[in-house]
Structure 1
Amino acid sequence: MNRLIDVAVSHHRRVLLLVFLATLPFLWFYAHQSFRNHINEFFDADDPDIAYYTTFQEVFGNDEVMAVVFRDTDIFTPENLSFIRDLTDLMERHAGVQRVLSLTNAEVAVGDGDTVSFDPVLPDGAVTSEVAEASRGMALSHEILTGQVISADGTTTCLLVELLPFDSNEEKGKAIRSLQAAADSVSGGRHLRYSGGPCVEVEINALTRRDNMLFTPVTFLIIMVIVYLMLRNAALSLLGQVNILIIVLWGVGLLVMCGEVVNTVTVVIAPVLLAISIADSIHILSHYRTLYNRNGRNHRAAVREAARNLWRPCLFTSLTTGMGYLSFVTTTVRPVKIVGVFTAVGVMIAFFMSVFVLPAFLMACRAAVEKRHGDRSPLGKGGQDPLIGMLTRLGHWVVARSGVVVLVFVVAAAGVGYGMNRLRFDTDFAAYLKDGNRVKKDIRFVEGNIRGTVPVEMVIEAVGPESDFTHPESMKVLSEVADEVMAHMAGQYTHVFSAADYFAEIHGAFTDGEVGEGALPGSRLDLLDYYELADPEVLERILSPDYRMARISFASKFGPNASAEKVRAFAEARVGQILGSNYRYRFTGLSSLYNTMDKNLKISQVRSFGTAFVLIFVMMFFVCKSPLLALLSMVPNLFPICTTLGIMGWVGIPLDTSTIMIASVTIGIAVDDTIHFITWFRRNCEAGLCTREALVKTFGDTGKPIVMTSVVLCTAYFVFMTGSVKPVIAFGALAGLSMFFALLGDLLILPALIYLIKPALCRDEAQGDAPGRCV
């Protein structure tokens, strides 16, 4: 490694030329990022739930529905009904729309002697007051339409726009925005509201794009300011920024090159790489400056020795950080895996750039760097850096009060543990939006005035042809399941529709309502006759071609996954009893996938953190070369994780697709400063110092770059708080907070534990000196 560093210093122009040429293709890919937040992106392609959902869509059609809603004192006026008709026609002709259901194209079954016809709620022709009143009576008396396309009080109507499948979020976003613009252009002053999963997905996608454009430049500027204030050398600060800019271009460019997309989870990769990759640069630049002033301003020697002295701890810090992120490959949430893999790769790119390319930059810009060395020196009276002096005094204080520090830590751990017990998991995508967001306000309006817009799909499958859905008994089973689920989920589920409802409507029309509302035919011959009368387009949406699979569609309000767990638990306890051995059931659709993601998050938390902990502990053993010191080093790195998770539990912040990464990210990054602290502590012990002296000197040797990197990391993560999506905001706030706690762990808890336990490294233990002799 030292030989490669010497080559980079001696042939710096060639090194920089190669790096420049290698950066060009990554720059091209960086500029061609794509954005996608569809639920499918959160699962592996071979995931069984995604596979079943795909099969469901192939059998029954796409279940992505957009709701267009408006409210008036009376929907059933000639003017409003004419507008709904025009809007329905407009949307049916619009690109990307498969079908539309509204008041003006809905049909109801009407008995006519020994046959049944399907009459439109609003007939063709002019809409007069008489026609409007007839439509009112027909719609409000129809159980299926009420609560689906018209509210019970007749003041709110909903157009359900079923979309075609789209290949990309960009195409879906353009189609939905075009639909909204077309609807608004003919609204005549009516306030239209748009709701449904596709609207939420497109909105989150747009916000992700906005955040991606904001986070990286803001983080870059903040890091540049902080590094300059710490180093007080514009040239050194600029070189550090150029170095991390290349790292981000390579890291994100590689992501795009591999065909990956940016979403609410992977959007953190670029700014996180900026924050992480500056750490090695800060240590090398800070050490270079110290060596330059110490060895008679010999630039080449200072560059060379800085890289030689620090490549080993930088390698270990890169490996531990990379392992922290690489542990995400054990998760079952695909975007988290992507963050883990590509951030880990980016971290190793950062090591290469910092140890080999940064010295080449320093050599190429020698004149500018040396010219700025005397400008605005950070040194105070007596030629000592004030920050180093303050950290040295802190070291004396910690050593003198090590017992108090550890006691406070133990007491705090009790409160943290209680908070951790209150942690919960949640993947409510609508809750990701801020309360003032237009889409979120529209969702709440629609849910409060007419219906839920989250589809919950339940498929009942007959195990044999003798129990398929051409038998009345099967229809009755379908009806009983739907009724019991609706009763159990009252308040959350607002509407249900299945083949049983459809054939009950036909049966009621055929018998003129004599058998009672919701009654089903008792004869298989009657049911088969109804199949002949039914609309084929309706049948293909609710039954499979072989009549072995029946779809029950529930309309749910957006909400936490506790509701999905509630219905699943009820289904296991009750639905199985209703179905018996002749049928089996399965939930699918977006709601089901969100619930599956919730379970995956719980598994991911345990797998990723457990993997990261084991790998990092093994790495720390090689760094510390002492089992006891390695064990002690893990305490200050668990401290920020447990404290942050405890705060989440106390405050009520859930673990979701973004915050789930905090534990593994924190331990992977926090251990970096621990490695630098222990590396310098060991060197001071090997130089003959006792534990007290070695600890205090370590504060002066590496305390400043530790503080610098911690400040940079805290601030960089806090940039995420300017984001537009709640999980990203929470991730930024919590990750920044965890970096602060990591700093406290490294500068307070770690030295206090080392001084109290005194692992056999320094001469006071090796030679049997009494601690009191070491002053």
Structure 2
Amino acid sequence: IFVLLIFLFRTLAGVFLPILLVIFSIIMTLGVAAYLGWSLNMLNIVLPLLLMVISLADSIHIMVSFYNYRQLDYTPKEAAKKTIKTLFIPCFYTTITTFVGFIALAASKLVPVIQFGIEAAIGVMIAFVLSITVLPAILVHIKGFSRLGEVNTRIINLLPKFANKHSMKITLIALTLIPVAAYFARQINIDTSFERNFKQNSDIRKSIRFYENNFGGALGLEMVLDSGKAGGAKEPQFLLKTLALQEWLESQDCCSRTLSLNDYLFEINAKLNEQQSQYYTVPNSRELVSQYLLLYSNGGPEEDLTDMISNDESKIRLSVTFKSRPAKQTSIWINKIKTELATNYQDLNATLTGRTIMFNNMDKYIQNGLISSFSLAFLLIILSFFILFKSVKYGMLAMFTSMLPVLIVGGIMGAFDIYLDFATMMVAAVTIGIAVDDSIHFLWHYVNTRRSGSSRNEAIEFAVKKAGRAIIFTSIILASGFLMLMFSAFIPTIFFGILGAIVVVFALLGDLLFLPAFMYLNSNRQKHLGHQNLKTHKLN
């Protein structure tokens, strides 16, 4: 980021001012999070880096515009006023769309995801306020200014010509990507396997494998078995039925061992009968069970079975050592257990819980969270487009070029078997808010130029030249920031970074190639129709 800012602005002010504002934004955001009592977790640990790259966008747009006006011989004060007047509305709406993308994550049922979304949304708003107020105020007092590179300008000037010349090919490529990406996106699998979150050589994954190989499983499945009456858990018939369930569970591939009140009673019964093997069984009377439990509880303050039997002795706990496997396989095993309980063990009134159930239910939360957060973000963003441009056509056009990168990422996830988890589920909602930002800047300049009387082609060229430089550099910085997450040891974070960078790259192509190409194609088509109508009129 530091190198890119040097390349873009070539002044100390141009390099350090945006970075200082971002640092203040991060500090204030973390301060708000601390005030709310939220601690760092596996998701929001990446928040400072993410805020750094996202928050730089407004600062870069403002500084590029400011230096452009300075090159046109505006005084610092005039350049600052002109910049704020020109960019306040587009910067405000880009902040709103990014804010919406993050705040939409609050629709999830996963607390870390909700906290991440709220913290990021707060950080984005803080960065906007500082960029639009503090940054111009400081720039006014800086006498020197950066002359933006001519090489960069020449490259940007070539983009509209390229898009115009190849408008049909570019449009066909964009339209072809839609069905291809949609086909592969349908193949995305959801998986919250804890082991899969870490690299093959990580200590955590090695520990999980060691535990699996030596202790039979790294997860726990808990059952609460209800006899239906006070003291019913001490009935030999109820305990024998529990024993039958334990034996069935231990015969399954998913389970290695079980533990219940029976195991304690077996040990007591055998010890009181000289460890004879025939006494490793359930006591044959309720009175004997009561005596054994009383004997065990009188053994000392540490000898307590309250975690194995309820106070009214109506329920007992059955713990199962469960193997860590992908979510799909775990779901099959859990459904098999539920079917067996409903078929042969109805009188035990079993309730399933534990980490295995929690991780398995997380898949449903992820799927529902993806749908709800993305839908909310989509609706709010498209509404903001209509309010900003007062045009359904421009709103739909901007949403198309912004949605395409998200759809492409979905296709990549399906094609390369990248699982949807609590981190990658955030990509769609977060990146659509980021992807539309540059579309807003492009269309803002285009629409205003058209309304001032310029032709379509002139407006497109002006929009690319006016916003192109800032769009390219903000996209490079965003992509670089996302790619920094590749150095994480947490695989969901790595994929979040890679997929986020891919969205940014395709959003850049969408804003500076796909969007102008669509407009040129439409303009050329209308010109062709106009010529045809003119010929028909002359013939008549």
Q: Could you tell me the TM-score, scaled by structure 1's length?
A: 0.65
SS at match of 2:38: coil
Q: Letter of the aligned partner of 1:588 in structure 2?
A: T
Question: Using the alignment, how far apart are the partners of 1:759 and 1:477 within structure 2?
Answer: 79
The alpha carbon displacement at 1:287 in A equals 0.6
Aligned CA RMSD, in angstroms, stands at 2.7
- The residue number in structure 2 matching 1:189 is none
Q: Work out which of the residue numbers 239, 244, 261 in structure 2 matches 1:475.
A: 239
- The residue number in structure 2 matching 1:549 is 315
Question: Using the alignment, how far apart are the partners of 2:277 and 2:130 within structure 1?
Answer: 80
Q: Letter of the aligned partner of 1:746 in structure 2?
A: D
Question: Using the alignment, how far apart are the partners of 1:487 and 1:329 within structure 2?
Answer: 42
SS at match of 1:460: strand
- The residue number in structure 2 matching 1:496 is 258
The alpha carbon displacement at 1:352 in A equals 1.0
* C-alpha contact 2:242 2:348 (8 A) present in aligned 1: no
SS at match of 1:394: helix
1:357 aligns with 2:128: no
The alpha carbon displacement at 1:562 in A equals 3.2
SS at match of 2:226: strand
1:733 aligns with 2:482: no
Q: Could you tell me the TM-score, scaled by structure 2's length?
A: 0.91
- The residue number in structure 2 matching 1:241 is 19
The alpha carbon displacement at 1:735 in A equals 0.9
The alpha carbon displacement at 1:772 in A equals 12
Q: Work out which of the residue numbers 554, 558, 571 in structure 1 matches 2:337.
A: 571
- The residue number in structure 1 matching 2:29 is 251
Q: Letter of the aligned partner of 1:332 in structure 2?
A: K
The alpha carbon displacement at 1:522 in A equals 4.2
The alpha carbon displacement at 1:448 in A equals 1.8
Question: Using the alignment, how far apart are the partners of 2:204 and 2:382 within structure 1?
Answer: 46
Question: Using the alignment, how far apart are the partners of 2:83 and 2:421 within structure 1?
Answer: 41
Q: Letter of the aligned partner of 1:317 in structure 2?
A: T
The alpha carbon displacement at 1:506 in A equals 4.5
Percent sequence identity over aligned pairs: 28
1:341 aligns with 2:118: yes
Q: Work out which of the residue numbers 312, 328, 349 in structure 2 matches 1:562.
A: 328
The alpha carbon displacement at 1:457 in A equals 1.4
The alpha carbon displacement at 1:401 in A equals 2.1
Q: Which runs of 5+ in 2 are unaligned?
A: 535-540
Distance 1:772 1:261, change over 3 A: farther
Q: Letter of the aligned partner of 2:308 in structure 1?
A: I
Question: Using the alignment, how far apart are the partners of 2:376 and 2:329 within structure 1?
Answer: 31
* C-alpha contact 1:636 1:750 (8 A) present in aligned 2: yes
Q: Work out which of the residue numbers 251, 268, 291 in structure 1 matches 2:69.
A: 291
- The residue number in structure 2 matching 1:229 is 7
* C-alpha contact 1:389 1:700 (8 A) present in aligned 2: no
1:627 aligns with 2:392: yes
1:422 aligns with 2:422: no
Distance 1:457 1:758, change over 3 A: farther
Question: Using the alignment, how far apart are the partners of 1:446 and 1:571 within structure 2?
Answer: 23
The alpha carbon displacement at 1:511 in A equals 6.9
Q: Work out which of the residue numbers 198, 223, 228 in structure 2 matches 1:433.
A: 198
The alpha carbon displacement at 1:460 in A equals 1.2
The alpha carbon displacement at 1:726 in A equals 1.5
Q: Which runs of 5+ in 1 are unaligned?
A: 1-222, 380-384
Distance 1:246 1:531, change over 3 A: closer
- The residue number in structure 2 matching 1:282 is 60
1:447 aligns with 2:209: no
* C-alpha contact 1:327 1:664 (8 A) present in aligned 2: yes
* C-alpha contact 1:252 1:269 (8 A) present in aligned 2: no
The alpha carbon displacement at 1:771 in A equals 10
SS at match of 2:257: strand
* C-alpha contact 2:269 2:279 (8 A) present in aligned 1: no
SS at match of 2:191: coil
Q: Work out which of the residue numbers 135, 155, 178 in structure 2 matches 1:390.
A: 155
The alpha carbon displacement at 1:327 in A equals 0.5
Aligned positions of 1:252-267 closer than 5 A: 252-267=30-45
- The residue number in structure 1 matching 2:449 is 684
Count the aligned residue pairs. 530
SS at match of 2:409: helix
Question: Using the alignment, how far apart are the partners of 2:518 and 2:390 within structure 1?
Answer: 17
SS at match of 1:551: strand
Question: Using the alignment, how far apart are the partners of 1:232 and 1:279 within structure 2?
Answer: 17
Distance 1:482 1:751, change over 3 A: farther
Q: Letter of the aligned partner of 1:256 in structure 2?
A: A
Question: Using the alignment, how far apart are the partners of 1:419 and 1:362 within structure 2?
Answer: 48
Q: Letter of the aligned partner of 2:313 in structure 1?
A: Y
SS at match of 2:234: coil
Aligned positions of 1:619-768 closer than 5 A: 619-757=384-522
Q: Determine which structure has greater relative contact order: mean sequence separation of CA pairs < 8 Å that are 6+ residues apart, divided by chain length.
A: 2
Question: Using the alignment, how far apart are the partners of 1:443 and 1:650 within structure 2?
Answer: 28
* C-alpha contact 1:388 1:703 (8 A) present in aligned 2: no
Question: Using the alignment, how far apart are the partners of 2:159 and 2:271 within structure 1?
Answer: 86
Q: Work out which of the residue numbers 300, 307, 318 in structure 1 matches 2:77.
A: 300
Q: Letter of the aligned partner of 2:94 in structure 1?
A: T
Q: Letter of the aligned partner of 1:472 in structure 2?
A: P
The alpha carbon displacement at 1:553 in A equals 1.0
Question: Using the alignment, how far apart are the partners of 2:508 and 2:241 within structure 1?
Answer: 62
Q: Letter of the aligned partner of 1:559 in structure 2?
A: R
Question: Using the alignment, how far apart are the partners of 2:29 and 2:292 within structure 1?
Answer: 61
* C-alpha contact 1:485 1:567 (8 A) present in aligned 2: no
Question: Using the alignment, how far apart are the partners of 2:43 and 2:523 within structure 1?
Answer: 42
The alpha carbon displacement at 1:538 in A equals 5.8
Q: Work out which of the residue numbers 405, 410, 419 in structure 1 matches 2:175.
A: 410
| Bigger Cα displacement from structure 2, 738-747 vs 321-330 | 738-747
Distance 1:481 1:682, change over 3 A: same
SS at match of 1:260: coil
Distance 1:470 1:255, change over 3 A: same
Q: Letter of the aligned partner of 1:603 in structure 2?
A: N
* C-alpha contact 2:259 2:318 (8 A) present in aligned 1: yes
